[in-house]
Amino acid sequence: MQTVPIFPIVAADAGVRAVFGESPTRVFPFSQAPAGGAKPYATWQLITGEPESYLADAPDIDSATIQLDIYADSVDECRAGLVALRDVIERHAVITRWGDEDIDGETGLQHRSFDVDWWVPR
């Protein structure tokens, strides 16, 4: 399966960089956000995926379901991160789930998540 091009797409967007910074843009693969790093930040992870199924040919595309999680010091920052990511990702994929607004038990930060279905050409 090809890697879903989340980081290059979100890091190229001015709205995302306005919320999540530049050099680096704070959108990390799951469990790779630096401890005690700047906020807000987001993480993403592959939840599931599968190749397209054809009878006569090998698959030329895979589907992937990605979960994105936003962490911030305030509800407003968390919502701003969600909107920035939503606005750029919806140009490339389909959002399939909005998670609750909550406080992350491990970090104590405001948290919001959403899932995306993405088709990735091989």
pLDDT, tens digit, 9 for 90 and up, residues 2-32: 688 999 999 999 999 999 999 899 999 999 9
| Confidence grade of residue 52 (pLDDT, cut at 50, 70, 90) | confident
**For the chain, which domains are there?**
6-121 (3.30.2000.30)
- Amino acid 121 reads P
Rounded mean pLDDT, 47-51: 87
pLDDT of 59 above 90: no
- pLDDT tens figures, 87-120: 999 999 999 999 999 999 999 999 999 999 999 8
pTM (2 d.p.): 0.90
CB atoms within 10 A of CB 114: 18
* Distance in angstroms (rounded) separating the CA atoms of residues 40 and 114: 16
Evaluate whether 63 touches 93 at the Cβ level (below 8 Å). no
Q: Is 78 helix (H, G, I), strand (E, B) or coil?
A: helix
Q: Give the length of the chain.
A: 122
Please write the tens of the pLDDT for every residue from 31-46: 999 989 999 999 999 9
